């Protein structure tokens, strides 16, 4: 039986990289898009272009430029989303719900643990901020979305992880820790959503090394790109569209039993020597 509800996707990190590509792909597949991003003024024209592309797909775009790890911002954003839902239901008669949640935030400290002095080494604030934005914020969004009744049977939560969760890479220590925490949070949320019989599934998506603004911030990027290119058995690096297409496919009907996993979307990069 066709679903009478209107699917929305909430993309945290919607202005760039994986989040942008997935927001665009889900809009083309019929989802309305709620997007959160954190950009300076020079990035706003790009955000406007993304919203225009979503509108051109005939879908709604509700975006906010804010720190996704801030509790007050999150509450305000969700209050605005609720108003959108109520207005949409009143005009279309369809029940909106958040079918896809994507956590794709890149905001980490890239300092070594053992720099030559305290200033060039990671400190408590750096560590806590990286873990809060890149991992713990997933839990707080999931709590509020669930308690607020935004999720429904068939909703899917995805969080972007990387090979860095199991490999040591230069100055990636704090992000590596965040990826471990994020994968753990996905398992815990998957189990708790299942026990509450919500019909909500949660999986981490482990993308291969992909050229995005976040990758270009990593000091070891050239080595990472060269390594991924030579190692990937598909003969090329992962692209943001590879991940976007995978998320659209995984979000279709019939995937309700896939939960609590780390799903590789890397063309076989991790398993290749
Ligand atoms: N690029 C890679 O090779 C790669 C591989 C595997 C996993 N990942 C992961 O994928 C995720 C997305 O990375 P990307 O490469 O697409 O990065 P990106 O820099 O292209 O995009 C990051 C997005 O996060 C937003 N953002 C950052 N901090 C924010 C905050 N505090 N509040 C709200 N929005 C914020 C930015 O505005 C942007 O929209 C990250 O978690 C990253 O670790 C990246």
Residues 164-189 pLDDT 10s: 999 998 899 999 999 999 999 999 99
How far is the centre of ligand 1, averaged over its atoms, from the C-alpha of 212 (Å)?
Answer: 8
pLDDT at residue 1 in the model: 59
How far is the centre of ligand 1, averaged over its atoms, from the C-alpha of 202 (Å)?
Answer: 19
Please report, rounded to a whole number, the percentage of residues in the chain having pLDDT higher than 70: 99
What structural domains does the chain harbor?
6-265 (3.40.50.720)
Q: Are strands 201-207 and 61-65 parallel, antiparallel or unpaired?
A: unpaired
Q: Is the pLDDT of residue 127 over 80?
A: yes
Q: Is the pLDDT of residue 226 over 90?
A: yes
Q: Which atom of ligand 1 is nearest to the CA of 38?
A: 37
Q: The pTM is what?
A: 0.98
Please report, rounded to a whole number, the percentage of residues in the chain having pLDDT higher than 90: 94
Task: Give, to the nearest 10 degrees, the angle between helix 17-28 and helix 240-250.
Answer: 50
Question: What is the arithmetic mean of pLDDT over 2-31?
Answer: 96
The pLDDT-based confidence of 3 (bands split at 50, 70, 90) is: confident
- What does the alpha-carbon distance between residue 174 and residue 58 come to, in Å, rounded to a whole number? 40
From 11, 13, 239, the mutation candidate for ligand 1 (largest count of ligand atoms within 8 A of CB) is 13
Give the closest residue to 258 by CA, choosing from 186, 196, 209. Answer: 186
What is the pLDDT of the chain when averaged over all its residues?
96
The pLDDT-based confidence of 153 (bands split at 50, 70, 90) is: very high
Report pLDDT digits (tens) over 79-102: 999 999 999 999 999 999 999 999
| C-beta of 158 in contact with ligand 1 (< 6 A) | no
pLDDT at residue 20 in the model: 98
Q: Is the pLDDT of residue 47 over 90?
A: yes
The pLDDT-based confidence of 4 (bands split at 50, 70, 90) is: confident
List the structure tokens of 224: 């990472």
Find where tokens 């590509």 sit: 21
């Amino acid at each position: 039986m066709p679903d009478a509800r209107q699917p929305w996707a909430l993309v945290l990190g919607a202005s760039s990289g994986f989040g942008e590509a997935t927001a665009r792909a889900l809009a083309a597949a019929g989802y309305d898009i709620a997007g959160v991003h954190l950009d300076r003024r020079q990035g706003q024209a790009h955000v406007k272009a993304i919203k225009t592309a979503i509108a051109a797909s005939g879908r709604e775009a509700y975006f906010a430029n804010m720190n996704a790890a801030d509790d007050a911002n999150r509450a305000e954003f969700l209050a605005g989303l609720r108003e959108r839902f109520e207005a949409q239901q009143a005009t279309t008669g369809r029940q909106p719900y958040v079918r896809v949640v994507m956590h794709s935030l890149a905001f980490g400290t890239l300092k070594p643990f053992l720099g030559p002095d305290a200033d060039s080494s990671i400190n408590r604030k750096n560590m806590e901020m990286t873990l809060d934005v890149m991992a713990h914020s997933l839990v707080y969004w999931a709590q509020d979305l669930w308690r607020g009744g935004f999720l429904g049977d068939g909703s899917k939560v995805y969080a972007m992880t990387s090979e860095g969760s199991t490999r040591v890479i230069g100055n990636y220590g704090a992000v590596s820790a965040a990826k471990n925490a994020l994968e753990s949070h996905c398992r815990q949320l998957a189990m708790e959503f299942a026990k509450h019989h919500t019909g909500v599934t949660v999986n981490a998506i482990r993308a291969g090394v992909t050229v995005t603004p976040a990758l270009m911030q990593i000091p070891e990027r050239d080595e990472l790109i060269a390594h991924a290119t030579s190692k990937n058995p598909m003969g090329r690096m992962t692209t943001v569209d590879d991940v976007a297409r995978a998320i659209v496919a995984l979000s279709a009907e019939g995937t309700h039993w896939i939960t609590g996993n780390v799903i590789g979307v890397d063309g076989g990069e991790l398993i290749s020597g």
